[in-house]
Structure 1
Amino acid sequence: MLCRSKPIRTMTPRFDAWRWLDKEKIQRITSPNVNSPTFVEYVKGLNIDLIVVFFFPQILKPALLQTPRLGVLNCHPSLLPRYGGPHPAFWMLKNGESVAGVTVHVMTEKIDAGDIVAQQELIVGENENAGQLTQRQHHAAAVLLTEAVNAMAQGALNPKPQNIAERTYFGKKKAADTVLDWNASARHIANLWRAVQPYEPLAACLNGTTIKIYDAQSQEGPPSERVPGEIMAKESGTLLVQTGNGYLEIRSYEIVPFHGWLNRILQGFMLPVGSRFDRVPSAMGLASKAAS
């Protein structure tokens, strides 16, 4: 929450948020539950005009939403009304979207459903991962929020209702959503890998052996008689695996639970050409991913 008498400006990120707030002598307070009566009363005592929310994990309830005189603005990392809900970067990349973006909208009780104040479209790079896309969304959001707050101060905002008929909503990412299915196309699997990077690897299992995939890309190729999940070729540190359509080139991986030089030695004689990965990771593999 910012209280300034002059227009705000876009800040080039050089420090973390806490250090910047301290440097600018802006009051800050943390709260594990912003909807608690104690925190709501604290906010009411500030007599604030506007609340701005950005990539915030808590859902604001009516008591807090109705506190500021001008309401609440939220910045959501997608082009609403599409991809409402948490983790939109994950879902957009997994689904192979070529266009992403950010939206500033009026926050309402219904999640990501308020009137749209401003939007910016971002073209998704062919090999861009979730971390890279999120970073670009942060930069775009800083500009959009700056413009929106200043427009509100000048009474120049023109919010427009969302077309609810076009709304799509995706829930929280679960371990089951990151399961590698070798019957899918190589492009689909590569999109899934992009969607979880750089936060976690994909997991694949072969006869009880789990590997973690840290780098992969899809390859086109003529149809073959190999079955999905079969290792077609192998070189130092890389694997070429048949998928339901095309091939997945695994360019960096580890054999669990080994690392470093021991892992490189084991790669030399484990996972031979012709062996086949399981269709889905084992239950143990999913559990470890959920915990990571």
Structure 2
Amino acid sequence: MSPHPSMEAVSNVPKLRLLVLSEIDDWDFGRQLKACGHDIVAWVRPRWKRDPKCGGLCHAVRTTIKAILCLPKPIRTIKPRFGAWRWLNKEKILRITSPNVNSPTFVEHVKRLNVDLIVVYFFSQILKTAILQTPRLGILNCHPSLLPRYGGPHPAFWMLKNGESVAGVTVHVMTEKIDAGDIVAQQELMIGENENAGQLMQRQHHAAAALLTEAVNAMAQGTIDPRPQNIAERSYFGKIKAADTTLDWNGSARQIANLWRALQPYEPLAACLNGTTIRIYDARPQEGPPSGRVPGEIMAKQSGRLLVQAGNGYLEIRSYEIVPFHGWVNRILQEFRLPVGSRFDLAPSAMGLTSKAVS
């Protein structure tokens, strides 16, 4: 699949009035829609971040955007020295704030924009009936898994934690039932052996941008052919709870390493030994014959690395830090607080993950 449509293909695509809902700072999707000539009448995101990435959006679609709708915090002080705000002021773009895309005020604004199609590109709010019925052609959503498997939030976390080898992205028609609409297009992505959640999601974003652009063009041409999901194969995973991020040394080394991958780079995996908490930043599973040690016991220690017995196999901890110390103090404490033969307890969960992970 080509990441960008050819000029010949673009010239034959009828132009649509689009409203984009997105929570990520990847403007490649905006550039592709612009290249196809579609009229992006509004780009909705939770809030403007005052950093150079905002300028990426301006550069990508500044000739077509008619409105910027920001959620959920209202704009207070707008200073022209920031690239995005300077461009908004120069172009006199309408700025609309709303606490929820389902609010009557927001829905009324969308109706006035006369939108043909709403495109949802990694956006966590659940859309209700009023907004679903607003666009003329409906709503296309991009979900970062191969539906009907792994519906719900944070699929990258769940796929890595469960040790899956194949991920993907799905474009589907949005309905009131979450991630259950007819499938328009899908693309498989192989998961690397040591790939973490952040790396996987970055690849999903790039794949989704091309896939969703093709789906929008197919919608414009009237060639879209959705197919129902196989409900018998459906699996749904909810929000991440503290118990889902807790390290269990009775599990296999591969299971523990998979949990570490699922948490990265949003939270380190946490482990606890005699009241000392460590944050694990890099870990790899190792195979070997039974050692007679109990799960969680430190078997060896060399060059700042730990080898810990798991329920099956060994976990090589390549990079870690004792909380709350840093630098040379941390290196000294590592020598005395984590002796060979000592045993880790069940670790506290990786607090804060549920607020940081991206769906």
TM-score class, shorter-chain normalisation, is: over 0.9
* Cα contact 2:167–2:190 (8 A) shared by 1: yes
Q: Whole-Å Cα distance in 1 between the matches of residues 354 and 179 of structure 2?
A: 26
* Partner residue, 1:19: 58
Q: Indicate the SS of the match to 1:253.
A: strand
* Partner residue, 2:258: 191
* Partner residue, 1:179: 246
Q: Indicate the SS of the match to 1:117.
A: strand
Matches within 5 A, 1:189-268: 189-268=256-335
Q: Whole-Å Cα distance in 2 between the matches of residues 69 and 96 of structure 1?
A: 41
* Partner residue, 2:18: 2
What do residues 156-194 of structure 1 show as CA deviations (whole Å, max 9, x unaligned)? 000000001100000011222110000000000000000
Q: Which of 170, 173, 176 lines up with 1:109 in the alignment?
A: 176
1:133 aligns with 2:162: no
Cα displacement (A) at 1:25: 4.2
What do residues 3-29 of structure 1 show as CA deviations (whole Å, max 9, x unaligned)? 7898359xxxx9546434663341321
Q: In structure 1, what residue type is equivalent to 2:283? A: A
Cα displacement (A) at 1:287: 5.4
Relative to structure 1, the CA distance from residue 199 to residue 62 in structure 2 (aligned partners, 3 Å threshold; closer, same or farther) is same
Q: Indicate the SS of the match to 2:18.
A: coil
Relative to structure 1, the CA distance from residue 166 to residue 21 in structure 2 (aligned partners, 3 Å threshold; closer, same or farther) is same
Cα displacement (A) at 1:235: 1.2
Q: Indicate the SS of the match to 1:2.
A: strand
* Cα contact 1:236–1:268 (8 A) shared by 2: no
Cα displacement (A) at 1:246: 0.1
* Partner residue, 1:29: 69
Matched residue count: 285
* Partner residue, 1:281: 347
Relative to structure 1, the CA distance from residue 232 to residue 7 in structure 2 (aligned partners, 3 Å threshold; closer, same or farther) is same
1:71 aligns with 2:138: yes
* Partner residue, 1:50: 117
Cα displacement (A) at 1:2: 2.6
Q: Indicate the SS of the match to 1:183.
A: coil
Cα displacement (A) at 1:276: 0.3
Q: Whole-Å Cα distance in 1 between the matches of residues 193 and 63 of structure 2?
A: 39
Q: Whole-Å Cα distance in 2 between the matches of residues 286 and 196 of structure 1?
A: 8
TM-score normalised to the size of structure 2? 0.75
Relative to structure 1, the CA distance from residue 86 to residue 212 in structure 2 (aligned partners, 3 Å threshold; closer, same or farther) is same
Cα displacement (A) at 1:47: 1.3
Q: Whole-Å Cα distance in 1 between the matches of residues 226 and 339 of structure 2?
A: 59
Sequence identity percentage: 76
* Partner residue, 2:45: none
* Cα contact 1:101–1:120 (8 A) shared by 2: yes
Relative to structure 1, the CA distance from residue 90 to residue 261 in structure 2 (aligned partners, 3 Å threshold; closer, same or farther) is same
Q: Whole-Å Cα distance in 1 between the matches of residues 351 and 183 of structure 2?
A: 39
Q: Whole-Å Cα distance in 2 between the matches of residues 7 and 288 of structure 1?
A: 39
Which structure 1 segments of 5+ residues have no match? Answer: none
Q: Whole-Å Cα distance in 1 between the matches of residues 34 and 250 of structure 2?
A: 59
Q: In structure 2, what residue type is equivalent to 1:180? A: L
Superposed CA RMSD: 2.1
Q: In structure 2, what residue type is equivalent to 1:193? A: W
* Cα contact 1:2–1:26 (8 A) shared by 2: no
Q: Indicate the SS of the match to 1:69.
A: coil
